[in-house]
Amino acid sequence: MSENTSKKSAWKHKYRHLKRQEDRQEFEGWSENELIDHILELREELDTLQEKLHKANLPAAEQKNPEKAEKGLNFEGFKVDWPYSTKFVFLLSLENRPLTSKEIHNHLLKLDKQYSFYNDPKTTLSVYLRSVVKTGRIKAVKIPGFREKLFAMPNWINKEGELFEKFKTGGFFYGEI
């Protein structure tokens, strides 16, 4: 570690320590009820700010019709409390085509707030996908020339483990097949 890096680290540590001391002084003399009321006020303020941020980040089409915000898809039936296996089946059925883990990841980020709270959502998704594939509820298919595995419903795959032709054509894979 260079001398510059250690100076920066020491400076950051000292700053955090001083900031904590200032914060503690602000709350000295407060009763427990006052602290609880203040925390509740902050939570309400945080909720309103998050709503404003969410509304500001929504494109105009999503604000007008949030159910059909993405490619005309209707996510109305999606339930956050479903197990991940059911969520995967729902997304595959809704799209009616095989999906990559990246596409599933993007859908889950938009639909499932709990999913985004994981420390590493992509790794978590990978674990869940592997376990659901093992159960046979969905299938993983590797297509030559296509970088990622595709996840598909079992009835979209023939006995040799290949996708039926209707799923190999029609621009499902960004023209790579």
Question: Token pair of 110, please?
Answer: 């938009």
Is the residue at 65 inside a domain? no
The number of domains in the chain is 2
Q: Which of 75, 50, 48, 49 is nearest to 62 (CA)?
A: 75
Is the residue at 173 inside a domain? no
Do 93 and 121 belong to one domain? yes
The pLDDT of residue 129: 93
152/171 Cα distance (integer angstroms): 16
DSSP H or E run through 141: strand 139-141
Q: What pLDDT, in 10s, does the model give residues 14-53?
A: 888 888 888 777 778 888 888 888 888 888 888 888 887 7
3-class secondary-structure state, position 151: strand
Q: What are phi and psi of 145, to 5 degrees?
A: 90, -5
Is the residue at 159 inside a domain? yes
- Counting as low any pLDDT under 50, the low residues of the chain are 60-70, 170-171, 174-177
Is the residue at 14 inside a domain? yes
109/43 Cα distance (integer angstroms): 23
Is the residue at 114 inside a domain? yes
CA atoms within 13 A on the CB side of 100: 11
Do 50 and 79 belong to one domain? no
Do 103 and 133 belong to one domain? yes
Do 163 and 79 belong to one domain? yes
Is the residue at 66 inside a domain? no
Do 151 and 94 belong to one domain? yes
Question: Token pair of 137, please?
Answer: 């509820």
Do 98 and 13 belong to one domain? no
Give the whole-number percent of the chain exceeding pLDDT 70. 81
Domain that includes residue 154, residue range: 73-168
Do 31 and 110 belong to one domain? no
Do 44 and 86 belong to one domain? no
What CATH number is given to the structural domain containing 119? 1.10.10.10
Is the residue at 156 inside a domain? yes
Mean predicted lDDT score pLDDT of the chain: 79
Is the residue at 62 inside a domain? no
Residue 62: CB atoms within 10 A of its CB come to 15
pTM for the whole structure: 0.55
Do 19 and 50 belong to one domain? yes
